[in-house]
Structure 1
Amino acid sequence: MTALTLPPRLLEDLADALLRRHERLGTAESCTGGWIATTCTDLAGSSAWFERGVVTYSNEAKTELLGVPADLIARVGAVSAEVAEHMACGLLARAPVDWALAVTGVAGPGGGSPAKPVGTVWLALAQRGAAPRVWCEHFAGDRAAVRAQTVISGLQALHRALQPADPAPDQPSLAS
């Protein structure tokens, strides 16, 4: 596995935020093959906030373990907004987690198409009790680079979602 260079303190800050909120994370991964879970569990003490990771590389695994409808995969393909959303929501429904981060994509070097070229990745972030956020990324580079950028994108999105919506009372607003 290629070395992953996270932004400074990203994982530590994410862990601190989850711990402060008494929340736990789970991952549902396809193209990253468990790299997000590995990255999270590389941090000592992660068992206090990381609950589980599920690698659903095959379409059958997505259906069996996460409840992604097989007819949906047949209709839109595994690399799609709909499948990413179902993966995240399926994990949230099946695991004692507050957050579910799901990824599905074409890491390459083969497997791409004109509609879904290599580097196309769909990510979904679902929080219990809230509407999921789903987005698409188009990453450049080889297989390892696409996978590494996917890990970083997912963790950064979770980190942003965990930040307070309003500035602290003693902090001036940027609009002031």
Structure 2
Amino acid sequence: MDYTVSGNAPDESRLAVLAEAVGAALAESRQVLTTAESCTGGWIAKTVTDVAGSSGWFRRGVVTYSDDAKSELLGVPPEQLARFGAVSEEVVRAMAEGALARSGADVAVAVSGVAGPDGGSDAKPVGLVWFGWALRSGFVISRPERFPGGREDVRRASVAVALEGVLRQMRREIP
């Protein structure tokens, strides 16, 4: 679903459907998920753990809102943060790889963005969110999205894209 065109962030029922689909795919393949979140503040982990039985396929979620937390908890090199900034392809990929390496999970999703209403710049405007997905097999992919709307819209749309990306990675599709 393209949230950048419609401008309509998904509601709780849509997020629940996505989380259930993620859980079913992980359970079927006997794989485990971990999350590394910044601008979503743990919302992805909350959404997947709302699903009964998620303890069988969800390992842990890490909220790394600050640059220090990204380095300390996920191993993101401080030089990358200084050079590219937290909202970047390089950092979100490192977040996903770090979450995977530190959790023992099979699938990781990482999110870092500018949810607003403040904090944006010309180069990194409010609504810009970077996503990274990593698989134990070594496959890592990342992409940016730009979401319209307010802070909650950006965060809610980010949760949906993150979960949709997990499903695509489980199917080995490129998002």
Question: Would you call these one fold, judging by a TM-score over 0.5?
Answer: yes
Greater CA radius of gyration, 1 or 2? 1
Alignment correspondent of 1:42: 50
CA contact (8 A) 2:20 2:48 kept: no
**1:148 to 2:162 alignment:** no
Gaps of 5+ in 1: 166-176
- Deviation string for 1:17-76 (max 9, x for gaps)? 111111000000000000000000011110000110000000000000000011110111
> Which of 5, 11, 24 does residue 16 from structure 1 map onto?
24
The answer to which structure has the higher helix fraction is 2
2:6 aligned residue: none
For residues 57 and 15 of structure 1, the distance between their equivalents in structure 2, rounded to whole angstroms, comes to 25
Q: Could you tell me which of 148, 151, 159 is aligned with 2:167?
A: 159
Deviation at 1:90, TM superposition (A): 0.5
User: What residue is the counterpart of 1:104 in the other structure?
Assistant: 112
Structure 1 residues 123-166: Cα deviation after superposition (integer angstroms, max 9, x where no partner):
0000001320100000000000000000000101111222377x
SS at 1:147's partner residue? helix
With the length of structure 2 as denominator, give the TM-score of the two structures. 0.89
Q: Which amino acid aligns with 1:163?
A: R
Query: Retained in 1: the 8 A contact 2:37–2:112?
Result: yes
Instruction: Kindly indicate whether structure 1 or structure 2 has the higher relative contact order, using CA contacts under 8 Å at least 6 residues apart.
Output: 2
Pick closer, same or farther for the CA change 1:139–1:22 going to 2, 3 Å: same
Q: Which runs of structure 2 are paired with 1:20-99 in the superposition (5 Å)?
A: 20-99=28-107
Taking the aligned partners of 1:164 and 1:58, their CA distance within structure 2 comes to 31
Q: Aligned equivalents of 1:113 and 1:145: distance in 2?
A: 19
- What is the Cα deviation at residue 7 of structure 1? 5.9
1:9 is displaced (CA, Å) by 3.2
Distance 1:131 1:48 in 2: 23
| Cα gap change, 1:69 to 1:8, in 2 (>3 Å) | closer
Aligned pairs, number = 164
Q: Which amino acid aligns with 1:132?
A: V
C-alpha spacing 1:60/1:114, structure 2 compared with 1 (3 Å) = same
Letter in 1 for 2:109: L
Distance of 1:107 and 1:8 partners within structure 2? 21
Q: Which runs of 5+ in 2 are unaligned?
A: 1-9
CA RMSD of aligned residues (A): 1.6
**TM-score for the superposition, normalised by structure 1:** 0.89
Identity among equivalent pairs (%): 51
Question: 1:157 aligns to what SS in structure 2?
Answer: helix
TM-fit CA distance, 1:3? 5.8
Distance in 1 separating the partners of 2:34 and 2:132: 12
* Equivalent residue letter for 2:139: A
